[in-house]
Structure 1
Amino acid sequence: MNLVPLDLDRDLDLLHAWVTHPRSHYWGLQGATPARVREEYQKIADNPHHHAWLGYGDDGVPLFLAETYEPAHSELASFYDVRPGDIGMHVLVAPPTGRRAGLTSAVFRAVMDFCFADSKIDRVVVEPDVRNEAIARKNAEAGFVEERHIELHDKTARLSFCTRAAYEMSVPHLNPAAFEIANRQLIAKAIAEFSHERLIAPVSLGDDRYEFGQIVFTARRLPMEHWIVDPGSLQGPLDALDFISGLRETLGIPEQLLGTYLEEISATLAGTAWKLTHRRETADELAHAANSKDGFQTIESAMTEGHPGFVANNGRIGFGLKDHAAFAPEAGKPVRLRWVAVLKTESIFVYDGDERAHYLAEFGDTLDHYERQLRSRGLNPDDYRYLPVHPWQWEHKLAVTFAAEVARRAIVPLDESADRYRAQQSIRTFFNIDRPDRHYVKTAIAVQNMGFMRGLSPKYMQATPPINQWVADVVNGDEELRASGFGVLRELAAIGYVGDAYHRTGTPSAYTKMLAALWRESPIPMLAEGERLATMASLVHRDRDGNALATALIRESGVSAAEWVATYFRAYLRPIVHCLLQYDLAFMPHGENLILVLRNHVPTRVFMKDIGEEVAVMNDRPLPGEVERIRMITSVELKELALFTDVFDGYLRHLAGILDVDGVLPWADFWSLAGDCVREHAKDHPAIATRLDLLRPTFAHSCLNRLQLRNTLQMVDIADQESSLIYAGELENPIA
């Protein structure tokens, strides 16, 4: 959001509509004519100590009116001892026009940020009408303290103050109501997923009532050990941290890592509370957004759930309050990436093309600006290449951890990007919102999240563009995959700095993964007329009222649930099965790693992403040398788990449960359609159909939470993932 001076010639009609609206009765201009409104605001325009501002949302739409004034030159001067750093403030949010809930809080904080952006301001003073209870609550959330009631010329007012420190320490989402919901949701998920992984065993009380420890709850228990626990039904002690710590031995959490896991649980709770407070889009609103050109990023930022299977799925250890508000995907804030120049002799760059042409395509005239910055420091631009950096990483790591390299000009800080980006669900990947046709940028960030430090290894990434191109060639060269519209978003270029002391030790560590980046294709140029995009993670999203986006999409599509799901399976499941049977090629096709292409709310094809880190060829077929890294010789059973664990258990189990409990499509019908999809593929490709037994009655139950519980700092060894897996018996194959 941004504020610009109010222009009466430009804004009078809008201003008149706002201040005379019934919802604006405390503004004192009910029934005023446009001329009267102009007269009132002309007085402000003529007053050097009073200013009016029009506030815009990130989409450029006017959202609010703000006024700032100097209390020493106002009626307030006779009621309190004015300090030099005081500023007065009024705010009026646009009358309701179908905008999302939570807007008032966002606007209020934008105005407070605007006030405190002036370093001379130490305190904000407000004097709302004592009858305005709603604004009193907003004031309290922001850190205002009411001093007393005063009699102004037109109202009895609450004289209230907010210091800079009080505002910075205000945490409106950390309140009892939001945290009760967050605790209920997390405990319900913990019971469901720990029961699914056979770590705990709730006792049946009959009639879908269960008991575990001191907690009694209602749940649906479906095949595949899938539990749907009703958070609202939980009775008993509802403290998620105590719940987890009390189960440390049962869950197998090493004593020395309990604190780290609890910190991830606490951060997940806080993240849920933040979303409950600030993100209030309904499932119906998101379904509507899914059919609009601008809906892709709206849906991306609205997700309230991380990975559907992991209990501690939103840790982000390292982010502070301001970092979360600035960089978390759910904050939806535009981000300008930082750029550094790094010596070519101490860095790697991999790209099948001209390096300078790549930079020109990604930031245009800004390249000339960066080159001039280098020359102004007496440096030769020909000696350097350009690396994008997450703002958090520069502030918290690079300027300190790589201080020696910055001092000797091996790393040169430049300027922020001209283009604005939005953080994606993976937190370290950014989508260009000013030029959506330009590439995603994936940055390294030393934040601990869901079992891994989210760094990028320059050495590891040297093979990433060749691997992506090889996979893309396989996909594009296959008639079946072309017919399904299945595509991959290639990671086309990789860059990393390797000239530091951490690399010179020769020992891989978190420090050798702090300064690197990737560029990935944007799907925007690949869309046909009428096609829209949404992260596949959205299919397991429920809004704050419990309504599912998948249910809303099916309802809006106008087709039957069975037809919708069957079309989705042809777009998603069939290509995954084909890649596995034809090429022994396995992806990690969970929700965040796929982008759905929707037509009239129906998923008709998909894009796979994160190819470099999460793809494997499970045979001994000849591979180019630079692609050899993705080879994983393994058993037939483990090949089958690429479907059973990663697709059936890891994702579709959750979607099937949502559609069943919503009464949209019964569980059995959902999996019958999945089985039909696999069998139709076998009928069309008999030569490869028997290579794997995808219709076997059971499969090994590979457990994801057990991995994180065992070592929340590094769930698996990336170089040897197979040996890291933990099993808990078998699950029934739902398509057998």
Structure 2
Amino acid sequence: MPDHPVPDLPDTDPAAWREANRQLLAKAIGEWCFEDMLKTVETGDGGYRVDLDSGTTYAFTARVGAFGWLRVDPSSITRTATSMLGNSVAEPAWDAQQFLFEAASTLGTDPSTVATYFTELAATLAVDAARLTHGGESVAELRGLGHTELECRMTGHNLLVANKGRIGFSASDVRKYAPEAAQPLALKWVAVHRGLAEFRGTSELSEHTVVERELDEATRARFTAVLQGAGVDPEAYVWMPVHPWQWDHAVQILHASDVAQRRIVPLGDSPDQYLPGQSIRTMANVTAPARYDVKLPLKILNTLVWRGIPPHCTKGAPVVTQWLRGLVERDPFLTGECRTVFLGEVASVTVHHPYLSKLDQAPYQHLETLGCIWRESVSDRQDAGERVRTFASLLHVDAAGDAFVAELVRSSGLKPEEWLRRLFDVLLVPLMHVLYRYGVTFNPHGQNTLIGYDENDVPTRLYLKDFVDDVCVSYTDVPERGPEPDGHDHVLPRKHPSVIRQHVVDQVFVGHFRYLSPLCEAQLGVPEKTFWRLVRQTILDFQRDFRRRFPELEGRFAEYDLLSPQIPRYGLNRDRIVVTRYGDRALRHALYPNGTHPNPLAEEGGA
């Protein structure tokens, strides 16, 4: 053995670090200009520059994409600053962290926000650079992976520049618990006294039914023996899983009194292994995939919010699922023609902190540390031979520069435009039907929206998940919805139809099609204008069919207008850096529009 311990090898090499920075710098310039945080000056021949208050200028070439977005060429960016001799020197630019500091005054933010956002940016760069260093599977290899394994290969939300901030995780935590680490882990199980914990389930599920489904008989006997050995009555406790990081970093600290007084009793590890999805807190069972996915709180800050689970969400999840099933199961179009799958959040455990929950205006990060939601798994609902992949996976590009969407189209044998029309029908038709008929929308971003494919990789149907707190209903009277759950204001927020419509526009069109259309142009030969024309035609074809089936509801096309010339701009990056920043809040906040975008769907011809 060596006399001295051998240090861990670095996750990244210098070239990968520079390339990760170069790519993120281009993304930051493009997104911050898109959200009107920075102003561009056209310099001709596809050239632009951004003049910063710091006296530095960044110049680059870009193509104008849908919604007025500038697709910045990473290799074209130069930085010009006044040197010590007083002359201006232009040099190739690659440092995204330097850009943040130089742009801070122009962005209109404060030093505290810059420093904390720097942490998120650095964490994101570290993960991106490690991926570039170690490579990864080709898109052809990714095509053979199952849903859970493919999730671990994805790279985070596209709309956000610092999309893997994970404040609270250490570097070793990232290597152990982040989805890209793809490290299976066991969950901790605890028993929580019924004075603190409340189980809820859909009408067909009891507390014992869920536990018997999730834990084998030997494990249940072992856990019961732990409680008996502690001298407590097993029937006086609710059993639930806890993420091992949360148990170590939050539960044993904030609930130290409850653990000490046997109100919370650790039972042991699950025999099953789990993998995290892109949200990190949702775990999929890889030992027994048909068992439930489980959503667990983590006291980390990632993609704008603390990743706990609000008590109103754990309490409301089964109620919302029961209500949605009532809509879906009596709708022959959704169940018969579309075969849409709603992955229900069927059971939950809510735990209120005995002291902090009584503190008025307590920051929400401290109130959401213990609880769980069980959700139906993809594996339990998919057909034999069916592949299910997140909508976001279509945007994935491998180390060779090949896009996953192009690989699936090649595999299908269809012409690109025909394949895209199949995709648009599968994705948009169920969303529009629920929107127009029921005045209901989901939060259909790339991780919540999944596509089922046949054996030839042709899109066939839509899967939707993550309902509670993400399902919204219009405040207008919609008789087709029928009776709504009591206390719906918390679990089913009522919003203006224009805001309901915006969920589809922002998450599908701005959040994904904006990035998908240039990939299809570059790798499938489908011009962006053709792409958006196909999307528009999908909407018009559906409206024509909907008008035939429900002529009395035609007025809802205008109420939830997807084709309006201008759409409100909701800036997620601006919200973090300029508006909300990092102040502790009692509640998650609402986003407010800042200007508008031109809608590429407004008229024939597209972008």
CA contact (8 A) 2:316 2:491 kept: no
What do residues 189-242 of structure 1 show as CA deviations (whole Å, max 9, x unaligned)?
111111222222333343333333443333221231122222233333322112
Residue from 719, 725, 729 that aligns with 2:596: 729
Residue aligning to 2:86: none
* Paired residue secondary structure (1:658): helix
Residue from 472, 480, 485 that aligns with 2:325: 472
Residue aligning to 1:491: 345
* Paired residue secondary structure (2:172): helix
Structure 1 residue 426 and structure 2 residue 279: aligned?
Answer: yes
What one-letter code is carried by the residue in structure 2 that aligns with 1:240?
Answer: A
Structure 2 CA distance for partners of 1:661 and 1:191, relative to 1, 3 Å: farther
Distance 1:210 1:257 in 2: 27
* Paired residue secondary structure (1:662): helix
CA contact (8 A) 1:703 1:728 kept: no
* Paired residue secondary structure (2:18): helix
Gaps of 5+ in 2: 52-56, 79-91, 478-482
Residue from 493, 517, 521 that aligns with 2:372: 517
Residue aligning to 1:696: 564
Residue from 242, 256, 260 that aligns with 1:407: 260
What one-letter code is carried by the residue in structure 2 that aligns with 1:624?
Answer: P
Larger Rg: 1
The share of aligned pairs that are identical, in percent, is: 32
Structure 2 CA distance for partners of 1:548 and 1:254, relative to 1, 3 Å: same
Structure 2 CA distance for partners of 1:211 and 1:662, relative to 1, 3 Å: farther
Structure 2 CA distance for partners of 1:205 and 1:545, relative to 1, 3 Å: farther
Structure 2 CA distance for partners of 1:209 and 1:733, relative to 1, 3 Å: closer
* Paired residue secondary structure (1:550): helix
What one-letter code is carried by the residue in structure 1 that aligns with 2:49?
Answer: E
Residue from 607, 615, 622 that aligns with 2:471: 615
What do residues 323-347 of structure 1 show as CA deviations (whole Å, max 9, x unaligned)?
1111110111111011111001211
Equivalent residue pairs, number: 566
More moved, 613-622 vs 500-509? 500-509
* Paired residue secondary structure (1:543): coil
What one-letter code is carried by the residue in structure 2 that aligns with 1:302?
Answer: R
What one-letter code is carried by the residue in structure 1 that aligns with 2:167?
Answer: I
What do residues 327-378 of structure 1 show as CA deviations (whole Å, max 9, x unaligned)?
1101111110111110012111111322112101111221111111111121
Residue aligning to 2:16: 178
Residue from 639, 644, 649 that aligns with 2:505: 644
Residue from 268, 289, 311 that aligns with 1:458: 311
Residue aligning to 1:334: 184
Structure 2 CA distance for partners of 1:718 and 1:654, relative to 1, 3 Å: farther
Distance 1:720 1:545 in 2: 40
* Paired residue secondary structure (1:386): strand
* Paired residue secondary structure (1:456): coil
What do residues 248-296 of structure 1 show as CA deviations (whole Å, max 9, x unaligned)?
2332334432221111111111111122234511122213x1xxxx522
Distance 1:556 1:426 in 2: 29
Structure 2 CA distance for partners of 1:500 and 1:187, relative to 1, 3 Å: same
Structure with more relative contact order (C-alpha pairs < 8 Å, separation 6 or more)? 2
Residue aligning to 2:139: 283
CA contact (8 A) 1:699 1:732 kept: yes
Shift of 1:188: 0.7
Shift of 1:703: 2.0
* Paired residue secondary structure (1:592): coil
Distance 1:162 1:209 in 2: 54
* Paired residue secondary structure (1:246): helix
Residue aligning to 1:300: 151
Structure 1 residue 315 and structure 2 residue 315: aligned?
Answer: no
Residue from 378, 393, 399 that aligns with 1:544: 399
What one-letter code is carried by the residue in structure 2 that aligns with 1:416?
Answer: D
Distance 1:351 1:406 in 2: 26
Structure 2 CA distance for partners of 1:632 and 1:445, relative to 1, 3 Å: closer
* Paired residue secondary structure (2:198): strand
* Paired residue secondary structure (1:494): strand
CA contact (8 A) 1:346 1:498 kept: yes
Gaps of 5+ in 1: 1-85, 87-124, 126-160
Alpha carbon RMSD of aligned pairs, Å? 2.1
Distance 2:584 2:331 in 1: 34
Structure 2 CA distance for partners of 1:184 and 1:527, relative to 1, 3 Å: same
CA contact (8 A) 1:485 1:571 kept: no
Structure 2 CA distance for partners of 1:460 and 1:301, relative to 1, 3 Å: closer
* Paired residue secondary structure (1:427): coil
Show the 5 A alignment for 1:55-66. Answer: none
What one-letter code is carried by the residue in structure 2 that aligns with 1:523?
Answer: V
Distance 1:568 1:323 in 2: 37
* Paired residue secondary structure (1:555): helix
Structure 2 CA distance for partners of 1:512 and 1:279, relative to 1, 3 Å: farther
Distance 2:282 2:69 in 1: 31
Shift of 1:632: 4.2
Shift of 1:507: 4.4
Shift of 1:555: 1.3
What one-letter code is carried by the residue in structure 2 that aligns with 1:665?
Answer: V
Structure 2 CA distance for partners of 1:562 and 1:735, relative to 1, 3 Å: farther
What do residues 461-492 of structure 1 show as CA deviations (whole Å, max 9, x unaligned)?
21111012212221222222221122211111
Distance 1:637 1:276 in 2: 41
Distance 1:550 1:700 in 2: 28
Shift of 1:564: 0.9
Structure 2 CA distance for partners of 1:409 and 1:299, relative to 1, 3 Å: same
CA contact (8 A) 2:451 2:463 kept: yes
Shift of 1:320: 1.1
Distance 2:369 2:171 in 1: 22
Structure 2 CA distance for partners of 1:505 and 1:732, relative to 1, 3 Å: closer
Residue aligning to 1:122: none
Shift of 1:526: 1.7
CA contact (8 A) 2:442 2:472 kept: yes
Show the 5 A alignment for 1:94-243. Answer: 125=2, 163=5, 166-167=7-8, 170-173=9-12, 175-213=13-51, 214-235=57-78, 236-243=92-99
Shift of 1:506: 5.1
Distance 1:635 1:625 in 2: 20
What one-letter code is carried by the residue in structure 2 that aligns with 1:357?
Answer: T
Structure 2 CA distance for partners of 1:162 and 1:620, relative to 1, 3 Å: farther
Structure 2 CA distance for partners of 1:279 and 1:376, relative to 1, 3 Å: farther
Residue aligning to 2:108: 252
Residue aligning to 2:447: 592
Structure 2 CA distance for partners of 1:203 and 1:591, relative to 1, 3 Å: same
Shift of 1:713: 3.7
CA contact (8 A) 2:22 2:93 kept: no
Distance 1:642 1:398 in 2: 34
Shift of 1:715: 11
Shift of 1:543: 1.5
Distance 1:177 1:263 in 2: 21
What do residues 645-696 of structure 1 show as CA deviations (whole Å, max 9, x unaligned)?
2321122111112212334311111111111111111111112343123322
CA contact (8 A) 1:618 1:633 kept: yes
Distance 2:348 2:106 in 1: 43
Structure 1 residue 532 and structure 2 residue 414: aligned?
Answer: no
Structure 1 residue 360 and structure 2 residue 216: aligned?
Answer: no
TM-score (norm 1): 0.74
TM-score (norm 2): 0.89
Residue aligning to 2:575: 707
* Paired residue secondary structure (2:195): helix
Residue from 100, 119, 135 that aligns with 1:263: 119
What one-letter code is carried by the residue in structure 2 that aligns with 1:732?
Answer: N
Distance 1:653 1:733 in 2: 10
* Paired residue secondary structure (2:278): coil
CA contact (8 A) 1:188 1:229 kept: yes
